[in-house]
Structure 1
Amino acid sequence: MTFFTMFYRRKVPASTNENSHENLSNATILSREPTLVILLWTFPFGEQFPLNKCPQQFDVSDCFYTADRTQYTSAHAVVLHHRDVCTTKTQLPQAPRPSNQRWVWFNLESPSHCPNLAIMNDLINLTMSYRVDSDIFTPYGWIEKHNGPTNFTIPKKTKLVAWVVSNWNPNTRRVKYYEDLKNYLQVDIYGRQHLHLPRDEQLETLSTYKFYFAFENSIHVDYITEKFWYNALYSRCVPVVMGPPRENYERFIPRDAFIHVDDFSSPQELASYLLNLDKDEEKYKQYFNWRSEYYVPPKDNPWTVSYCRVCKALKEAPPYRTIASIEKWFK
């Protein structure tokens, strides 16, 4: 069984989350027993979002999330977002750690963009990242199974290829690949230094394209980001991916849902394939066959979804242990 078949979850009907603590005071919540107090040492990149408002599919009973550092001594876990605390150890909690308090290392960046990993040596008890082998798996996206057979309608396509890219670095593989590819194929590029695309118009605009270039900024195992899940799949385009090997993608999604650049000997060969596919409507439609059974759920606040996984992980946490080297594992 591939991983993606194990990861699917049935859609949960929307209703009020009876486990939510949003209407209770901190004092009331903390007086309940048992309660797992989960301290966010920092909001990731300073982006604040509501706490204790997890979607219903997350059982957060007996868990309380807080960003109040005065709760440090009573916290059962402290979540450390790497990019916010990696400059110096003084950014980490300085008070003595309470007995059996777990420190959770949280990171969604690839190893290529994670400085000072060694600063976490002998400090971390649980890992939380996009890597499948993390203690708390927090992917950028996933697919879920429909409750029953569903007829999917492909939106009207009037354009061929789109690519949204904010970090335009001529020395990266993806830009070098494009510089060759553009000699054979027209690509509409959005983002910094290119065409303007307001965030609130992104879904509508990208859905008019047949293909989307989901080119990752670095190549690492399981590093499959929102470029694939939301810019391409949720926008109902066929993804053309550059990232980990095809087999890695197929752990999460059927093989006929995307096109991988590594399947072609050159950018010219890829361009020829896409141009031919543009003329063959029936063959193009085959890339949407999987959608009769599965779908990409709407994009909630990614931080909320990630942190909501911590409660379940703490309830099922293995015996207390400390990871000697995050760097050795992650790289």
Structure 2
Amino acid sequence: EGRDGAAPSWAAWPAHLAQAARPAGTRGEESQTREPRDSGTALSRPRGSGERQRRLEPQRQHESWLRRSPPADAGRQAAAVPARAMGAPWGQAAGRGFGRRRGRGLPRGASALAAGLLCTALAAYSCWTRLPPLPWASPAPPRPVGVLLWWEPFAGRDSGARRPPDCWLRFNITGCRLLTDRAAYAEAQAVLFHHRDLVKGPPDWPPPWGVQARWTEELELRVLDDEAAAAAEAVATSGLRPPGQRWVWMNFESPSHSPGLRSLAGNLFNWTLSYRADSDVFVPYGYLYPRNHPSDQPPGLGPPLARKRGLVSWVVSNWDERQARVRYYHQLSQHVAVDVFGRSGPGRPVPDAGLLHTVARYKFYLAFENSQHLDYITEKFWRNALLAGTVPVVLGPDRANYERFVPRGAFIHVDDFPSASSLAAYLLFLDRNPAVYRRYFNWRRSYAVHITSFWDEPWCRACQAVQTARDRPKSIRNLARWFER
């Protein structure tokens, strides 16, 4: 083993890695790009130009209709052409026949006029059904929706309300009225409650609907330590809500770092908004979308290898020796050098160049999650690794969970190896074989990376979900049981 040593034994690696790593000539390269799985919620790429194109479409249809429809005078002239062609013989025959029966006939001009009117009516009737749709008959825009953010996440309850984002400019979502003033509570179709702020500090719920009363200072200052009492307090203070209003539970931490879940009463929330694909409003930390332009991030077919000076890097902010990621780091660092950056542990401060520029100088990045749960794939994977242009080595949910969202050849999973030493040997092998290493960037030919913008994007996605949802009522009976499974 070592950067200059011989290639490790194929038998020590998983079958698909051993086959992919064999020298050239032993197998043909296979394209391993695969579209990310659609999890049930539309996640469109934010493009303001696309929305403006749709907004201009009715006007273009109207102009196209005007170009296709001749002027009124031209229409009468066109309708008169068949009338003049048919009117003279028809009028003469009718005049002669009528004259033989009545003794006198219609004037030639009157016959032509009658024929012209009849043909015009027939032409208008036959063409009416072929007219293009009227411009004002286009589908109606999404209905306006008000979404109230009860607190700004992690900002504290005493912080001033910040200016809401423009959902149309940022995420192509129209018809959103984002609210921060609690006085507009009755006007909101949905209210967002951030979990960490919800369970931290004294109870802070909307007043019961229809009851002209305010919270007392005792309730605002009293801290409920007993979970059962907190749950009863939640039910008592929630009361009846404005008709049709939805309460949305929002959380982007894993179950291991979401205290107070069991203190929340059943049927308190209508919807869930989280990174979980089975949430009512699914907002992942990031996702891949089809590449439409060379400037889409990350640009290019692959990062320049000449700029990569190091082998393995890791950025960690919360160091805890009890975590699986720290234990695995200790094992891996015995066989390969790992440069650690962060505020705690053995890490050193991130250089002034910034996190992404620092990580981009390495071939591999340890995208290790602080806990292992379903769909819990954070910015460590999407931003720190894929967007920075390095190969992620992941420790989180199992490989199948990752492959629901990214091609299997875009990352290396620690579960693919029987030990940290065998993983280290494979990383050293890739370091010596650039052609095999570059295969981990094949996904960039077809996809670009979208990084979720917190907290603007979840706010706008909640508005979009209300616009497209039916009016059928729903409530979450046991939030903890769903989220902790």
- Superposition TM-score, scaled by structure 2 size: 0.61
Q: Identity, % of aligned pairs?
A: 44
Select 2:185's aligned residue among 59, 65, 72. Answer: 72
Whether 1:111 and 2:238 are equivalent positions in the alignment is: no
SS in 2 for 1:4: coil
Whether 1:132 and 2:277 are equivalent positions in the alignment is: yes
Q: Which whole-Å CA distance do the structure 2 matches of 1:142 and 1:197 have between them?
A: 26
- Superposition TM-score, scaled by structure 1 size: 0.88
Q: Which whole-Å CA distance do the structure 2 matches of 1:237 and 1:52 have between them?
A: 32
Whether 1:301 and 2:453 are equivalent positions in the alignment is: yes
Shift of the 242–65 alpha-carbon distance from structure 1 to 2, 3 Å rule, reads same
Q: CA deviation at 1:159?
A: 0.7
Select 2:301's aligned residue among 109, 130, 152. Answer: 152
Whether 1:164 and 2:315 are equivalent positions in the alignment is: yes
SS in 2 for 1:295: strand
AA aligned opposite 2:291: H
Shift of the 291–72 alpha-carbon distance from structure 1 to 2, 3 Å rule, reads same
Shift of the 34–232 alpha-carbon distance from structure 1 to 2, 3 Å rule, reads closer
Matched-pair contact (CA < 8 Å) for 1:11–1:145: no
Q: Which whole-Å CA distance do the structure 2 matches of 1:221 and 1:49 have between them?
A: 33
Q: CA deviation at 1:282?
A: 0.3
Q: Which whole-Å CA distance do the structure 2 matches of 1:89 and 1:316 have between them?
A: 35
Aligned to 2:151: 42
AA aligned opposite 1:176: R
Q: Which whole-Å CA distance do the structure 1 matches of 2:352 and 2:177 have between them?
A: 32
Q: Which whole-Å CA distance do the structure 1 matches of 2:398 and 2:427 have between them?
A: 20
Matched-pair contact (CA < 8 Å) for 1:15–1:56: no
Trace 1:199-214 onto structure 2 (pairs within 5 A). Answer: 201-214=354-367
Q: Which whole-Å CA distance do the structure 1 matches of 2:151 and 2:52 have between them?
A: 25
Of residues 278-287 and 83-92 in structure 1, the stretch that sits farther from structure 2 once superposed is 83-92
CA root-mean-square deviation: 2.5
SS in 2 for 1:312: helix
AA aligned opposite 2:423: L
SS in 1 for 2:286: coil
Q: CA deviation at 1:302?
A: 2.1
Residues 135-159 of structure 1: CA distance to partner in whole angstroms, max 9, x if unpaired? Answer: 1001000111112688513132111
Of residues 98-107 and 192-201 in structure 1, the stretch that sits farther from structure 2 once superposed is 192-201
Flag the structure with larger Rg. 2
Aligned to 1:24: none
Q: Which whole-Å CA distance do the structure 2 matches of 1:310 and 1:70 have between them?
A: 20
Q: CA deviation at 1:56?
A: 4.2
- How many matched pairs? 316
Q: CA deviation at 1:37?
A: 1.2
Larger helix proportion of the pair: 2
AA aligned opposite 2:191: V
AA aligned opposite 1:273: Y
AA aligned opposite 1:313: A
Q: CA deviation at 1:281?
A: 0.4
Select 1:99's aligned residue among 235, 243, 246. Answer: 243
Aligned to 2:394: 241
Q: Which whole-Å CA distance do the structure 1 matches of 2:49 and 2:452 have between them?
A: 14
Residues 151-184 of structure 1: CA distance to partner in whole angstroms, max 9, x if unpaired? Answer: 5131321110000001110111111111111110
AA aligned opposite 1:140: Y
Residues 32-77 of structure 1: CA distance to partner in whole angstroms, max 9, x if unpaired? Answer: x953211000001118654141254745333200111011111111
Matched-pair contact (CA < 8 Å) for 2:351–2:358: no
Aligned to 2:330: 179
Select 1:4's aligned residue among 32, 36, 40. Answer: 36
SS in 1 for 2:249: strand
AA aligned opposite 1:168: W
Whether 1:141 and 2:286 are equivalent positions in the alignment is: yes
AA aligned opposite 2:247: W
Matched-pair contact (CA < 8 Å) for 1:148–1:293: no
Shift of the 198–75 alpha-carbon distance from structure 1 to 2, 3 Å rule, reads farther
Aligned to 1:28: none
Aligned to 1:26: none
Q: Which whole-Å CA distance do the structure 1 matches of 2:244 and 2:274 have between them?
A: 22
SS in 1 for 2:177: strand
Question: 5+ residue gaps in structure 2?
Answer: 1-33, 55-141, 210-240
Q: CA deviation at 1:15?
A: 8.1
AA aligned opposite 2:302: T
Trace 1:207-222 onto structure 2 (pairs within 5 A). Answer: 207-222=360-375
AA aligned opposite 1:214: A
Matched-pair contact (CA < 8 Å) for 1:131–1:222: yes
Matched-pair contact (CA < 8 Å) for 2:313–2:366: yes
Shift of the 37–11 alpha-carbon distance from structure 1 to 2, 3 Å rule, reads closer
Aligned to 2:79: none
Shift of the 14–205 alpha-carbon distance from structure 1 to 2, 3 Å rule, reads farther
Q: Which whole-Å CA distance do the structure 1 matches of 2:35 and 2:206 have between them?
A: 36
AA aligned opposite 2:148: L
